[in-house]
Copies of this chain bind each other. A is one copy, B any other.
Amino acid sequence: MHSTPDLTHLETPCLVLDDGRMERNLERMRAQLRRLGVRARPHVKTCKSTAIGARMADTPRGPITVSTLAEAERFFAAGFVDVLYAVGLAPNKLDHVLDLRARGCDLTVVVDNVDGAAAIAARRAGIPALLEIDADDHRAGIRPHSDALLATARALADGGVLRGVMTHAGASYACRSPAAIAAMAAQERDAVVTAAARLRAAGHQAAVVSVGSTPTALFGEDLTGVTEVRAGVYVFMDLVMVGLSVCTLDDVALSVLCAVIGHQRDKNWLVTDGGWMALSRDRGTAALPIDQGYGVVCDQHGVALPDLVVHGTNQEHGLVARRDGGTLDFAQFPVGTLLRVLPNHACATAAQHDRYHLVRGRELTVHAVVPRFSGW
Protein backbone atom coordinates (compact mmCIF):
# COMPACT_ATOMS: atom_id res chain seq x y z
CA MET A 1 0.00 0.00 0.00
CA HIS A 2 1.22 3.48 -0.86
CA SER A 3 -0.77 6.66 -0.80
CA THR A 4 -1.72 9.04 -3.55
CA PRO A 5 -3.01 12.45 -2.67
CA ASP A 6 -6.50 12.81 -4.08
CA LEU A 7 -9.14 11.32 -6.40
CA THR A 8 -8.74 14.34 -8.67
CA HIS A 9 -5.14 13.28 -9.40
CA LEU A 10 -6.01 9.78 -10.62
CA GLU A 11 -6.37 8.65 -14.23
CA THR A 12 -9.88 7.38 -14.90
CA PRO A 13 -11.50 4.89 -14.87
CA CYS A 14 -10.46 3.33 -11.56
CA LEU A 15 -12.00 1.72 -8.49
CA VAL A 16 -12.81 3.71 -5.36
CA LEU A 17 -13.59 1.99 -2.07
CA ASP A 18 -15.19 3.86 0.82
CA ASP A 19 -13.44 2.45 3.86
CA GLY A 20 -16.07 3.72 6.29
CA ARG A 21 -18.90 2.03 4.45
CA MET A 22 -16.88 -1.18 4.15
CA GLU A 23 -16.14 -1.20 7.88
CA ARG A 24 -19.84 -0.68 8.63
CA ASN A 25 -20.75 -3.59 6.34
CA LEU A 26 -18.16 -5.81 8.05
CA GLU A 27 -19.44 -4.90 11.49
CA ARG A 28 -23.05 -5.57 10.47
CA MET A 29 -22.19 -9.11 9.35
CA ARG A 30 -20.07 -9.76 12.46
CA ALA A 31 -22.95 -8.67 14.71
CA GLN A 32 -25.45 -10.79 12.81
CA LEU A 33 -23.28 -13.93 13.00
CA ARG A 34 -22.67 -13.34 16.71
CA ARG A 35 -26.43 -13.13 17.17
CA LEU A 36 -26.92 -16.37 15.22
CA GLY A 37 -24.06 -18.06 17.07
CA VAL A 38 -22.25 -19.30 13.97
CA ARG A 39 -18.70 -18.89 12.75
CA ALA A 40 -17.84 -16.81 9.67
CA ARG A 41 -15.93 -18.27 6.75
CA PRO A 42 -15.95 -15.12 4.60
CA HIS A 43 -15.79 -15.52 0.85
CA VAL A 44 -12.89 -13.61 -0.68
CA LYS A 45 -14.05 -14.00 -4.28
CA THR A 46 -15.53 -10.49 -4.17
CA CYS A 47 -12.48 -8.63 -2.89
CA LYS A 48 -9.62 -10.84 -4.21
CA SER A 49 -7.36 -8.81 -1.94
CA THR A 50 -5.42 -10.29 0.94
CA ALA A 51 -5.49 -6.96 2.78
CA ILE A 52 -9.29 -6.75 2.60
CA GLY A 53 -9.67 -10.47 3.23
CA ALA A 54 -7.70 -9.98 6.43
CA ARG A 55 -10.34 -7.50 7.60
CA MET A 56 -13.13 -9.97 6.77
CA ALA A 57 -11.56 -12.99 8.46
CA ASP A 58 -11.72 -13.79 12.16
CA THR A 59 -8.02 -14.67 12.35
CA PRO A 60 -4.95 -14.18 10.15
CA ARG A 61 -5.07 -17.91 9.32
CA GLY A 62 -8.75 -17.96 8.31
CA PRO A 63 -11.16 -19.57 7.94
CA ILE A 64 -11.89 -18.23 4.46
CA THR A 65 -13.72 -19.37 1.34
CA VAL A 66 -12.28 -19.08 -2.18
CA SER A 67 -13.74 -19.54 -5.67
CA THR A 68 -10.47 -20.29 -7.48
CA LEU A 69 -7.16 -21.96 -6.70
CA ALA A 70 -5.52 -18.64 -7.59
CA GLU A 71 -7.30 -17.17 -4.56
CA ALA A 72 -6.13 -20.14 -2.48
CA GLU A 73 -2.53 -19.55 -3.62
CA ARG A 74 -2.55 -15.81 -2.92
CA PHE A 75 -4.20 -16.10 0.46
CA PHE A 76 -2.01 -19.03 1.49
CA ALA A 77 1.05 -17.00 0.53
CA ALA A 78 -0.31 -14.26 2.83
CA GLY A 79 -0.58 -16.65 5.78
CA PHE A 80 -4.15 -17.98 5.47
CA VAL A 81 -4.26 -21.71 6.08
CA ASP A 82 -7.89 -22.77 6.63
CA VAL A 83 -9.27 -22.47 3.11
CA LEU A 84 -12.42 -23.90 1.51
CA TYR A 85 -12.43 -24.02 -2.29
CA ALA A 86 -16.19 -23.82 -2.77
CA VAL A 87 -16.56 -24.81 -6.44
CA GLY A 88 -17.01 -28.47 -7.39
CA LEU A 89 -13.54 -29.80 -8.10
CA ALA A 90 -12.57 -30.48 -11.72
CA PRO A 91 -10.21 -33.48 -11.86
CA ASN A 92 -7.65 -31.37 -13.76
CA LYS A 93 -7.10 -29.37 -10.52
CA LEU A 94 -6.29 -32.36 -8.29
CA ASP A 95 -2.52 -32.06 -8.73
CA HIS A 96 -2.68 -28.40 -7.76
CA VAL A 97 -4.81 -29.19 -4.69
CA LEU A 98 -2.35 -31.85 -3.58
CA ASP A 99 0.54 -29.45 -4.09
CA LEU A 100 -1.12 -26.74 -1.97
CA ARG A 101 -1.85 -29.26 0.76
CA ALA A 102 1.71 -30.61 0.63
CA ARG A 103 2.96 -27.08 1.24
CA GLY A 104 0.83 -26.78 4.38
CA CYS A 105 -2.44 -25.26 3.20
CA ASP A 106 -5.40 -26.93 4.94
CA LEU A 107 -7.43 -26.81 1.72
CA THR A 108 -10.87 -28.42 1.66
CA VAL A 109 -12.57 -29.13 -1.65
CA VAL A 110 -16.18 -29.64 -2.71
CA VAL A 111 -17.81 -32.39 -4.77
CA ASP A 112 -21.39 -33.32 -5.66
CA ASN A 113 -21.17 -36.59 -7.59
CA VAL A 114 -19.79 -40.12 -7.35
CA ASP A 115 -17.31 -39.80 -10.21
CA GLY A 116 -15.81 -36.61 -8.82
CA ALA A 117 -15.64 -38.15 -5.34
CA ALA A 118 -13.97 -41.27 -6.76
CA ALA A 119 -11.37 -39.12 -8.55
CA ILE A 120 -10.52 -37.42 -5.23
CA ALA A 121 -10.46 -40.73 -3.35
CA ALA A 122 -8.29 -42.40 -5.98
CA ARG A 123 -5.35 -40.18 -4.99
CA ARG A 124 -5.34 -41.95 -1.57
CA ALA A 125 -4.12 -38.67 -0.12
CA GLY A 126 -6.77 -37.95 2.48
CA ILE A 127 -7.99 -34.85 0.67
CA PRO A 128 -10.79 -33.37 2.81
CA ALA A 129 -14.03 -32.56 1.04
CA LEU A 130 -17.52 -31.26 1.68
CA LEU A 131 -20.48 -32.62 -0.23
CA GLU A 132 -22.33 -29.86 -2.03
CA ILE A 133 -26.06 -29.92 -1.33
CA ASP A 134 -28.71 -28.51 -3.64
CA ALA A 135 -30.96 -26.35 -1.45
CA ASP A 136 -32.89 -24.49 -4.15
CA ASP A 137 -32.60 -26.06 -7.64
CA HIS A 138 -30.37 -23.13 -8.48
CA ARG A 139 -27.01 -24.53 -9.57
CA ALA A 140 -25.04 -27.54 -8.39
CA GLY A 141 -25.37 -29.99 -5.53
CA ILE A 142 -26.97 -33.21 -4.37
CA ARG A 143 -30.55 -33.20 -3.10
CA PRO A 144 -30.48 -33.86 0.64
CA HIS A 145 -32.92 -36.79 0.50
CA SER A 146 -31.40 -38.47 -2.56
CA ASP A 147 -29.65 -41.83 -2.73
CA ALA A 148 -26.79 -40.00 -4.45
CA LEU A 149 -25.89 -38.35 -1.11
CA LEU A 150 -24.85 -41.60 0.52
CA ALA A 151 -23.34 -43.02 -2.66
CA THR A 152 -21.13 -39.95 -3.04
CA ALA A 153 -20.11 -40.11 0.63
CA ARG A 154 -19.13 -43.76 0.25
CA ALA A 155 -17.11 -43.04 -2.92
CA LEU A 156 -15.28 -40.20 -1.19
CA ALA A 157 -14.58 -42.05 2.04
CA ASP A 158 -12.59 -44.68 0.18
CA GLY A 159 -9.38 -42.58 0.07
CA GLY A 160 -10.59 -39.05 0.79
CA VAL A 161 -11.93 -37.48 3.99
CA LEU A 162 -15.56 -36.42 4.33
CA ARG A 163 -15.66 -33.26 6.45
CA GLY A 164 -19.30 -32.36 6.03
CA VAL A 165 -21.74 -30.56 3.77
CA MET A 166 -22.19 -27.12 2.21
CA THR A 167 -24.74 -25.28 0.12
CA HIS A 168 -25.28 -21.87 -1.47
CA ALA A 169 -28.82 -20.53 -1.69
CA GLY A 170 -28.33 -18.61 -4.92
CA ALA A 171 -32.10 -18.50 -5.28
CA SER A 172 -32.07 -15.87 -2.51
CA TYR A 173 -31.22 -13.41 -5.31
CA ALA A 174 -34.68 -14.04 -6.73
CA CYS A 175 -36.43 -13.22 -3.43
CA ARG A 176 -38.36 -9.98 -3.35
CA SER A 177 -38.75 -9.27 0.37
CA PRO A 178 -36.83 -9.72 3.62
CA ALA A 179 -39.47 -12.27 4.68
CA ALA A 180 -38.88 -14.30 1.51
CA ILE A 181 -35.13 -14.16 2.13
CA ALA A 182 -35.63 -15.31 5.73
CA ALA A 183 -37.70 -18.24 4.43
CA MET A 184 -34.95 -19.06 1.95
CA ALA A 185 -32.40 -18.98 4.80
CA ALA A 186 -34.51 -21.56 6.65
CA GLN A 187 -34.74 -23.68 3.49
CA GLU A 188 -30.94 -23.45 3.04
CA ARG A 189 -30.39 -24.48 6.67
CA ASP A 190 -32.85 -27.36 6.46
CA ALA A 191 -31.19 -28.76 3.35
CA VAL A 192 -27.71 -29.03 4.87
CA VAL A 193 -28.87 -30.01 8.35
CA THR A 194 -30.95 -32.82 6.82
CA ALA A 195 -28.06 -33.98 4.65
CA ALA A 196 -25.65 -33.93 7.60
CA ALA A 197 -28.09 -35.95 9.73
CA ARG A 198 -28.48 -38.57 7.01
CA LEU A 199 -24.71 -38.85 6.60
CA ARG A 200 -24.19 -39.23 10.37
CA ALA A 201 -26.96 -41.83 10.57
CA ALA A 202 -25.08 -43.78 7.90
CA GLY A 203 -21.92 -43.70 10.00
CA HIS A 204 -20.10 -40.80 8.30
CA GLN A 205 -18.51 -37.75 9.90
CA ALA A 206 -20.17 -34.45 9.07
CA ALA A 207 -18.63 -31.95 11.44
CA VAL A 208 -18.96 -29.05 8.99
CA VAL A 209 -22.41 -27.77 8.06
CA SER A 210 -21.83 -24.72 5.87
CA VAL A 211 -24.28 -22.28 4.29
CA GLY A 212 -23.84 -19.00 2.61
CA SER A 213 -25.06 -16.05 0.65
CA THR A 214 -25.12 -12.44 1.75
CA PRO A 215 -28.94 -12.14 1.71
CA THR A 216 -29.60 -15.33 3.69
CA ALA A 217 -26.76 -14.59 6.11
CA LEU A 218 -28.18 -11.16 6.96
CA PHE A 219 -31.86 -12.17 7.12
CA GLY A 220 -31.51 -15.66 8.59
CA GLU A 221 -33.24 -15.99 11.95
CA ASP A 222 -32.22 -19.41 13.24
CA LEU A 223 -29.21 -21.37 12.03
CA THR A 224 -29.45 -24.23 14.51
CA GLY A 225 -27.31 -27.10 13.24
CA VAL A 226 -25.25 -24.88 10.94
CA THR A 227 -21.58 -24.47 11.87
CA GLU A 228 -20.40 -21.74 9.49
CA VAL A 229 -21.62 -19.04 7.12
CA ARG A 230 -19.92 -18.11 3.86
CA ALA A 231 -20.71 -14.69 2.39
CA GLY A 232 -18.66 -12.30 0.31
CA VAL A 233 -20.47 -9.48 -1.42
CA TYR A 234 -21.51 -7.88 1.90
CA VAL A 235 -18.02 -6.40 2.23
CA PHE A 236 -18.76 -3.94 -0.60
CA MET A 237 -22.54 -4.34 -1.20
CA ASP A 238 -23.97 -3.38 -4.60
CA LEU A 239 -27.12 -2.37 -6.45
CA VAL A 240 -28.45 -5.93 -6.60
CA MET A 241 -28.28 -6.01 -2.79
CA VAL A 242 -30.03 -2.62 -2.70
CA GLY A 243 -32.70 -4.01 -5.03
CA LEU A 244 -33.24 -6.97 -2.68
CA SER A 245 -33.61 -4.58 0.30
CA VAL A 246 -30.50 -6.12 1.86
CA CYS A 247 -28.94 -2.66 2.19
CA THR A 248 -29.40 0.93 1.05
CA LEU A 249 -27.51 3.00 -1.50
CA ASP A 250 -25.51 4.53 1.37
CA ASP A 251 -24.05 1.11 2.18
CA VAL A 252 -22.51 0.53 -1.27
CA ALA A 253 -18.79 0.98 -0.62
CA LEU A 254 -17.47 0.33 -4.14
CA SER A 255 -17.65 2.71 -7.08
CA VAL A 256 -15.94 3.34 -10.39
CA LEU A 257 -14.45 6.79 -10.78
CA CYS A 258 -14.85 8.11 -14.32
CA ALA A 259 -14.66 11.43 -16.13
CA VAL A 260 -17.01 13.26 -18.46
CA ILE A 261 -15.35 13.30 -21.89
CA GLY A 262 -18.16 14.77 -23.98
CA HIS A 263 -21.72 16.07 -24.23
CA GLN A 264 -24.27 14.74 -26.68
CA ARG A 265 -26.67 17.66 -26.30
CA ASP A 266 -29.36 16.58 -28.73
CA LYS A 267 -29.53 13.12 -27.10
CA ASN A 268 -29.18 14.44 -23.53
CA TRP A 269 -26.22 12.21 -22.78
CA LEU A 270 -23.03 12.80 -20.87
CA VAL A 271 -20.32 10.63 -22.41
CA THR A 272 -17.82 9.29 -19.85
CA ASP A 273 -14.70 7.13 -19.95
CA GLY A 274 -16.42 4.54 -17.72
CA GLY A 275 -17.57 1.89 -20.19
CA TRP A 276 -18.38 -1.75 -19.67
CA MET A 277 -14.71 -2.63 -19.39
CA ALA A 278 -14.63 -0.58 -16.18
CA LEU A 279 -18.18 -1.30 -14.94
CA SER A 280 -18.48 -4.89 -16.23
CA ARG A 281 -21.26 -6.18 -18.45
CA ASP A 282 -23.29 -7.21 -15.40
CA ARG A 283 -26.94 -6.15 -15.67
CA GLY A 284 -28.11 -7.89 -12.52
CA THR A 285 -30.63 -5.16 -11.72
CA ALA A 286 -32.45 -5.70 -15.03
CA ALA A 287 -34.57 -8.39 -13.36
CA LEU A 288 -35.28 -6.28 -10.24
CA PRO A 289 -38.08 -3.76 -9.68
CA ILE A 290 -35.72 -0.83 -10.35
CA ASP A 291 -33.44 -1.38 -13.34
CA GLN A 292 -30.30 0.61 -12.58
CA GLY A 293 -28.89 0.34 -16.10
CA TYR A 294 -25.11 0.01 -15.80
CA GLY A 295 -25.07 1.80 -12.47
CA VAL A 296 -26.17 4.62 -10.20
CA VAL A 297 -24.29 7.87 -10.72
CA CYS A 298 -22.74 9.79 -7.81
CA ASP A 299 -20.66 12.93 -7.64
CA GLN A 300 -16.94 12.65 -6.92
CA HIS A 301 -17.68 12.60 -3.18
CA GLY A 302 -19.88 9.53 -3.55
CA VAL A 303 -23.18 11.39 -3.08
CA ALA A 304 -25.82 9.80 -5.31
CA LEU A 305 -27.34 11.94 -8.07
CA PRO A 306 -30.70 10.18 -8.07
CA ASP A 307 -31.92 11.65 -11.37
CA LEU A 308 -29.05 10.11 -13.33
CA VAL A 309 -28.21 6.59 -14.48
CA VAL A 310 -25.62 4.96 -16.76
CA HIS A 311 -28.10 3.97 -19.43
CA GLY A 312 -25.65 2.47 -21.91
CA THR A 313 -22.03 1.49 -22.37
CA ASN A 314 -19.48 0.72 -25.03
CA GLN A 315 -16.11 -0.83 -24.20
CA GLU A 316 -14.56 2.41 -22.92
CA HIS A 317 -17.55 4.79 -23.08
CA GLY A 318 -20.38 5.26 -20.64
CA LEU A 319 -23.56 7.11 -21.57
CA VAL A 320 -25.16 8.91 -18.63
CA ALA A 321 -28.72 10.21 -18.95
CA ARG A 322 -31.59 11.32 -16.77
CA ARG A 323 -33.77 8.43 -15.67
CA ASP A 324 -36.85 10.30 -16.87
CA GLY A 325 -35.29 10.91 -20.28
CA GLY A 326 -35.45 14.63 -19.59
CA THR A 327 -33.14 17.50 -20.43
CA LEU A 328 -29.71 17.42 -18.79
CA ASP A 329 -28.19 20.52 -17.27
CA PHE A 330 -24.89 20.21 -19.14
CA ALA A 331 -23.43 23.26 -17.38
CA GLN A 332 -23.47 21.22 -14.17
CA PHE A 333 -21.18 18.57 -15.72
CA PRO A 334 -18.41 20.22 -17.76
CA VAL A 335 -15.91 18.04 -19.62
CA GLY A 336 -13.51 16.69 -17.02
CA THR A 337 -16.14 16.38 -14.26
CA LEU A 338 -15.50 13.32 -12.10
CA LEU A 339 -18.39 10.97 -11.37
CA ARG A 340 -18.56 7.76 -9.32
CA VAL A 341 -20.74 4.88 -10.50
CA LEU A 342 -22.12 2.33 -8.03
CA PRO A 343 -21.98 -1.19 -9.49
CA ASN A 344 -24.81 -3.61 -10.17
CA HIS A 345 -22.66 -6.49 -8.97
CA ALA A 346 -19.57 -5.82 -6.90
CA CYS A 347 -17.87 -9.15 -7.78
CA ALA A 348 -18.13 -8.47 -11.50
CA THR A 349 -17.13 -4.81 -11.38
CA ALA A 350 -14.18 -5.27 -9.03
CA ALA A 351 -12.91 -8.06 -11.31
CA GLN A 352 -12.30 -5.54 -14.08
CA HIS A 353 -9.66 -3.73 -11.98
CA ASP A 354 -6.29 -4.44 -10.38
CA ARG A 355 -6.41 -2.10 -7.38
CA TYR A 356 -8.68 -0.27 -4.95
CA HIS A 357 -8.29 3.40 -4.05
CA LEU A 358 -9.47 3.76 -0.45
CA VAL A 359 -11.24 6.91 0.69
CA ARG A 360 -13.21 7.76 3.82
CA GLY A 361 -16.73 9.10 3.52
CA ARG A 362 -16.99 12.19 1.33
CA GLU A 363 -13.28 12.99 1.49
CA LEU A 364 -11.32 12.97 -1.76
CA THR A 365 -8.04 11.94 -0.11
CA VAL A 366 -6.84 8.49 -1.10
CA HIS A 367 -5.42 7.04 2.10
CA ALA A 368 -4.33 3.71 0.64
CA VAL A 369 -4.01 1.86 -2.66
CA VAL A 370 -4.75 -1.84 -2.22
CA PRO A 371 -3.91 -4.32 -5.01
CA ARG A 372 -6.34 -6.99 -6.15
CA PHE A 373 -5.66 -10.01 -8.35
CA SER A 374 -7.63 -12.10 -10.83
CA GLY A 375 -7.35 -15.28 -12.85
CA TRP A 376 -7.41 -18.96 -11.97
Contacts and interface: CB of A to CB of B under 8 A. Distances in A.
Contacts of A9: 92
A335 B115 contact: yes
A206 interface: no
A177 to B, nearest CB: 23
Nearest to A284: B281
Nearest to A173: B314
A14 interface: yes
Interface in A270-320: 271, 273, 276-278, 280-283, 314-317, 319
B261 A13 contact: no
Contacts of A375: 353-354
Interface string A355-376: 0000000000000000000111
A157 interface: no
A206 B317 CA distance: 25
A125 interface: no
A45 B314 CA distance: 12
A49 to B, nearest CB: 15
A207 interface: no
Contacts of A45: 315-316
Given A116-B262, A276-B348, A336-B119, A271 B88 contact: yes
Contact of A277 (B260, B314, B351): B351
A170 interface: yes
A248 interface: no
Nearest to A336: B91
Given A281-B281, A354-B374, A140 B11 contact: no
A93 interface: yes
B119 A88 contact: no
A263 B113 contact: yes
A187 interface: no
Contacts of A96: 11
A319 B89 contact: no
Contacts of A68: 316
Contact of A314 (B12, B170, B354): B170
10 contacts: A11-B376, A12-B92, A88-B262, A88-B271, A90-B336, A91-B259, A92-B336, A119-B335, A140-B262, A352-B374
